[in-house]
Chains A and B, each alone.
Chain A
Amino acid sequence: DADVTQTPRNRITKTGKRIMLECSQTKGHDRMYWYRQDPGLGLRLIYYSFDVKDINKGEISDGYSVSRQAQAKFSLSLESAIPNQTALYFCATSDSRQGTKNIQYFGAGTRLSVL
């Protein structure tokens, strides 16, 4: 089983709909992240969380919200989806106890299409 699991793997939705992408991890890491990947743009940080009570905006948080339900679960919501949110979304985790050797481990991704 994967250490970082994202659901669903693929999702097609319509403009204006609210959707949620979910991420769960069994690595025991305290930090979790959401990125989006667009062709020609690379991965960009949406939100990150140091623990259940500490959530921070990343580079491109507008139009998104997150919830850290437990140390192992971090969900990303699109309140009202729009077509330019069509992208590949990745969840990642890291262990702050590693200090500067803070490696991020990624899930397999969710491919989202907004029509």
Chain B
Amino acid sequence: EDQVTQSPEALRLQEGESSSLNCSYTVSGLRGLFWYRQDPGKGPEFLFTLYSAGEEKEKERLKATLTKKESFLHITAPKPEDSATYLCAVRSGGGADGLTFGKGTHLIIQP
């Protein structure tokens, strides 16, 4: 059974204070690790997908990295508008076609 664990559950940072969110996973044949952003009252918004260990993707202040057991979402010099819940999900080679999600990290950036 695929499993995704995100930590921490919640994180409060000052504006400009860089940090990282963790996503550890166990999956039978990884076919993609996905990061989404979810704002209150909205659906998840796609950020990144990673497919193999060592891969990195960047978008503005966000950078996602992948190893064989975990992924990190690095946030550099965050701004209040980066406040959201960040979801990690995996797609495996077996079973259903859908994604297996972690519970998310609720990030608050204080001005």
Contacts and interface: CB of A to CB of B under 8 A. Distances in A.
Interface of A: 4, 31, 33, 35, 40-45, 48, 50, 56-59, 90, 92, 100-109
Contact of A45 (B45, B87, B99, B103): B99
B43 A42 contact: no
Contacts of A44: 101
A88 to B, nearest CB: 9
Nearest to B98: A45
B96 A101 contact: no
Contact of A56 (B31, B89, B91, B96): B96
A43 B87 contact: yes
Contacts of A100: 31-32, 51
A41 B97 contact: no
A24 to B, nearest CB: 14
A40 B104 CA distance: 9
B1 to A, nearest CB: 9
Contacts of B43: 4, 90, 92, 106-109
Interface residues of B, number: 25
Contacts of B42: 108-109
B46 A103 contact: yes
A102 B91 contact: yes
Most buried by A among B41, B87, B97: B97
A55 to B, nearest CB: 11
Given A104-B98, A108-B41, A109-B43, 20 more contacts: A40-B103, A42-B4, A42-B87, A42-B102, A42-B103, A43-B44, A43-B89, A43-B99, A45-B98, A45-B100, A48-B97, A48-B98, A56-B96, A57-B96, A58-B98, A59-B96, A59-B98, A100-B31, A101-B32, A106-B45
A57 B98 CA distance: 10
Contacts of A57: 96
B46 A105 contact: yes
Nearest to B96: A58
B56 to A, nearest CB: 16
Contacts of B51: 100
